[in-house]
Amino acid sequence: MNPPSARLLTKTQAASYCGLSPATFGGVCPVKPIALGEGVRMHRYDVRDIDNWIDGFKTGGAVPPSKFEELINKL
């Protein structure tokens, strides 16, 4: 896959970049979007943050828990 041409991605673009559906991406990715304005439509994901999250799987380093894991841990 070619790297994205923009550094900041919509949720759909970020999910595609990771090879995930938007619903799965929202459930497993702990990267928080940057609010560029009012409303969810103005949220953008930084490619560098996504890359760091993915790299954490390869290095065996501490990977932040996903939203799903956070909810399960609260039970």
The ranges assigned to domains in the chain are 8-74
> Residue 74 class from Cβ within 10 Å (0-12 exposed, 13-18 middle, 19+ buried)?
exposed
pLDDT by position in tens, the chain (length 75)? 666 789 999 999 999 999 999 999 999 999 999 999 998 889 999 999 999 999 888 877 666 667 667 777 777
| CA atoms of 50 and 30, how far apart (whole Å) | 9
Q: How many residues does the chain have?
A: 75
pLDDT value of residue 63: 61
Output phi, psi for 9, to 5 deg: -120, 150
Instruction: Provide the pairing of β-strand 43-46 with 8-9.
Output: antiparallel
pLDDT value of residue 72: 73
Instruction: Give pTM, 2 decimals.
Output: 0.74
Sign of CA dihedral 43, 45, 49, 54: positive
pLDDT value of residue 4: 76
